[in-house]
Amino acid sequence: MGSRILIPLLVLWVLQAFRQILVWTYWLQVKEYRFDRFEALLTSRDGWRNLELRTTALKFITLFVALFIGSYFWVILLFVYLNIRFSLDIAARAVRKPKFTLRAIEIVLTCLLGIALSVGASFYTGIVATNLIVGEILILLCPVLGILWTSPLVERSRRKTIICARSMLAKVHPVVVAVTGSYGKSTTKEFAAHILGTSFVVAKTVGSQNTDFGVARAAANLKNGTEIFVAEVGAYKRGEIKRVASFLKPKVAIVTGIEPQHLSLFGSLENILKAKYELVEHLAEDGFAIFNFGNEYCREMAGWAKKEGKKVYSYKVIKGKDEEKHDLTARVLRASSNNVTFEITMGKSTHELSAPIHGVHFVENLAGAILAARKLGVSWDKIKLACSTIASLDKTMTVVKSKGRAIIIDDSYNATPNGFRAALIYLALFEDMRKIVVTSGVPELGNITKFVHANLGEQMSEIADKIILTNKDYEKNLRRGLGAKKSLLTVSTNVDELYRRVKYYLEQDAVILFEGRMPAKIVQLISKTKEENAK
């Protein structure tokens, strides 16, 4: 092949290959570089779409055709199309790319080495199609190789960080409040840190970093004078929380609630309970556990703790009369689209509080945080003040008014069955507006996927005026739940089509709930709307 064709062809291939590397590294990072979570993504239709595996298959087909017929017309045409799409994504700031941490950079460089080898071999041998086929294989393999060769480095860094964390915790000696559960961890952690911050010097884990490495990094960076350290602790398998709790030694363990989130990774609901209970097992000698008694599995875990002689406190959000006695009960008094007023009862004391939160389900998170704060000595006056200034996490029921007439409810941070149901209850508060649900469904539910999505479909049939599903995996079960209203559901796996639909609804008198992870182009549209609203 002449250089007049060879060089442009290789340039086109390299550019689109770089885009694929960014996409794959992004999803590996989202799945925390865990092969078990990445496997779950690979085996779903949504995963095939997000990883663009059909496009990869098409590239292999056109390259094999070029290999046998000697013409690169279709290869060049495909690469031109892919690069135009890449350019449009760049212009729209919709490219899926990882946060460029050291590990992400190392994985990207590993992939670029694979690309360089293919390009070099093409120049050296002149057999372009064969070398580009090998290059496409390397693009698929190199991210995995990158994870494998960086794993020992990460493990060494993890061990060093945990040693530093142990040392810093021993030096600063803060009261450790650790939060775990299948849902509500991040929100409860943020609420607890906010309330405790009115009376103490408080540090907390960053964002949703809840692995041993993430918690250890936050602990290792504690400053002298820190009185309370609030940590979110998560897991996908048994033993992972134990690793964190063994160096945290929490004085307070809050269990927010248990549901079959990540069931496909845990294997069973029993494993989820036992994994979360590891935090309670490793309480400090003078420590105590706080359980959400509105959740049946938390009640079961509290029974385990009592049998082991651990100090247990309970909280519950109630509606009517509750014959059971709890250390704290919460009752919603009034709720609007931007505020919830509720009362808290502890012993013989009852207090009315108000918080600018979007959804009554956040009262459950506040109840756990308030109980912990009271047990650690925060006054009711300070708790009331803290509640009045509290804020939810970004992308967790964030409400934004668009430049048009629509209202956005951004709940795209994460999707759990409990969180999805709560978001729909909040959506129902907007009585005089058209209600649109855009969702990718709830992932990693294992053998209860069908039941959960049918149940969600049934709930949406009573609330939503239109449902747009971005993941075909859950279509059948949602339609089953929708019953006679199955026509409300539209499946939109094409990003450009989805973008047009969302843009249309942004100009209507509508409330749009985004539930679960969204394509980059939609994320950018939501972010742009937030920026415009802030001006």
Per-domain boundaries in the chain: 3-152, 173-388, 398-534
Place of tokens 């600018």: 356
- Could you give the CA distance from residue 148 to residue 138 in angstroms, rounded to a whole number? 14
pLDDT of residue 225: 96
Instruction: List, for residues 159-205, the tens digit of each pLDDT value.
Output: 999 999 999 999 999 999 999 999 999 999 999 999 999 999 999 99
pLDDT of residue 535: 61
Nearest to 520 by CA among 98, 94, 86: 94
Consecutive H or E run containing 336:
none
Residue 308 CA from chain centroid, whole number: 34
Q: Contact 189/230 with Cβ under 8 angstroms?
A: yes
Positions in the chain whose pLDDT score sits under 70? 1-3, 322-323, 534-535
Tokens of residue 118, six digits:
């293919």
The count of C-alpha atoms lying within 13 angstroms of the C-alpha of 306, restricted to the half-sphere facing its C-beta, is 11
- Could you give the CA distance from residue 139 to residue 152 in angstroms, rounded to a whole number? 22
pTM: 0.85
Domain 398-534: which CATH number of 3.90.190.20, 3.20.20.140, 3.40.50.2300, 3.30.420.40:
3.90.190.20
Q: Contact 61/289 with Cβ under 8 angstroms?
A: no
Nearest to 370 by CA among 358, 210, 359, 355: 355
Domain 173-388: which CATH number of 3.40.1410.10, 3.30.420.40, 2.130.10.10, 3.40.1190.10:
3.40.1190.10
Write out the E strands in 122-225.
175-180, 202-204
pLDDT of residue 529: 86
pLDDT of residue 5: 78
- Could you give the CA distance from residue 211 to residue 240 in angstroms, rounded to a whole number? 8
- Could you give the CA distance from residue 209 to residue 216 in angstroms, rounded to a whole number? 10
For residue 82, the one-letter residue type is L
- Could you give the CA distance from residue 397 to residue 354 in angstroms, rounded to a whole number? 17
What backbone torsions phi and psi does residue 323 show, to the nearest 5 degrees?
-70, -25
- Could you give the CA distance from residue 72 to residue 6 in angstroms, rounded to a whole number? 10
For residue 29, the one-letter residue type is Q
Place of tokens 């694929």: 20
Write b or e for each residue in 484-496: b if 16 or more Cβ atoms lie within 10 A of its Cβ, otherwise e: ebeebbebbeebe
pLDDT of residue 403: 80
Tokens of residue 455, six digits:
């149940």
Helix, coil or strand: residue 111: helix
pLDDT of residue 534: 66
